[in-house]
Structure 1
């Protein structure tokens, strides 16, 4: 089986795995703050479970890269699925016994699982060349579109499965998703050129890679796009409920956000091929700014849902664009360190800002959350547009 056939097969496998594994995040995002509100003693801690999910993502990225370098993509992903199973079981048990601590441990473990799922996008690009590389990343992210339906719908269908213990059923459902992904991941194959790279020199040191301006711009774009999205998404469900909207409305708002995050993936790869990665990334940043304007315009459901939907589209363009920029900055032998460092910085920053979200929401309100989006967007747009002017092609 030649590399092109293997790459295309892996894209299909990883898209299906993304649909299942990616469903874990929206469950935590939709319910983490609401369960926190139910179990936490301090109102400022209500978003702590979601923040710990982000922390687990950050802490898990470098060990996940090490595991996959030692065991291969398939072995690493199968090992990661065990974290997903444990996460749902621990979180469900924490809710059942009314333990905020155990629930937080479950959310943190879900983040460790997420660190493996997040690297599916890089695995799809292994051995891909030219336009196929950007499209491979984009197509795997389409699996997130299915996850955007599965996750919130599981919340709605199963949240009252256990009378007197709301949301236990949702997290038990979360635990089944990694099990379903295991037979799919067993079909993953290593492209011949990728397997050969393991015997090659490891290439430049991480410090040398970090010194590349293009690499650091790609990382910074990923940090800003993912960090701002998580900052808003962490606070949005609690803000909606506190404003008088229902839990179902909050879950549906997150679902619309997730659909908007992944639906553009059908065309994002083509847009990058035509207009360039930097231009698409910059357009995503501008859309994130527009989402803040919509949120600041009012507290009606249309403002929340509209803002979250626009934010999702902006995240898609900026995050996929930044990911594609990273893949241009390393050789096959360098990919573990370059990709691992990229995700560590993205999710480390995301964890830090999501920890702030609950406190900012509690002390300053929903408007403050959205006003804080503008400065980092302005900072990243300038070098992105400058780079786009220097490099007009993808």
Structure 2
């Protein structure tokens, strides 16, 4: 379950929002508003920097820019080392270490945080609540005959020009019913949004996006909505109080979930708090999936989960050492064979600029003196 709240701008009614934030199941997103075009200058500077850098790299690797072969090869290895270190650091920060995310009771979903079949040799999963975990060699399939029911209630007090929302992760074939009761006739307006991106769009646009939600209803004191889920996604139920009076509402939620078919899992693990974490060996099979299921035994409505990736060392050596060395070495050989040293300065010393009379006069005087000394020595 995902929960969030925020305020409605005083002059915008239901259509305008000033800020807010939310925690997704796998990522943390901080919402903020800004003026249109803000940051465009910084983006332009970054783009210009990378364009200039790319032109510079191409110019000296293709022997367009004049320099010695030694300097050309040295710059090549410097750029390769910088790129490899930067990419390795970014991938390590994103994959390695402990990654935390949220879940809800009866959730059954794929683990996506920090899981990478190429760079992870193993993956360890643990939680504050009991769960089951499964490994599939292929994309898990929903079994419409496996059903799990879950119900809960949320009591909210919405001040004037405020909103609140809850999110649920559902598999295809699931149904969700929400019955709302309000204490006054002028009550909160419910909106249903599908997907994290649409929720962020709704927040960024300050509520002014007619195509980012799938349901909206101006209701009175009682309201009921039933949704049949056709796609695997996060679904958010937003309640907005755009009036001038505070509203107290109660939302009763009943979920009938479909689950994955675990009979096709190649490995399984049951976890209880205080016991050993669930550890799975990961193959390089890109279709391999890790799935967890938080059952009815969950102790909290918001479950803290964490996972950690065990690095596949030989993959890092190949990707960030062997391949860059081979590529840089091959290019260095080509540079040495086909790029000639720049001798412009030597030619300029031997053949002066004819347009400079002063330089010609000095050079002529110098040559005459050298010739005179040579002649005197011979005599």
The two structures have a TM-score, normalised by structure 1, of: 0.22
- Structure number, greater radius of gyration: 2
Indicate the structure with greater strand content.
2
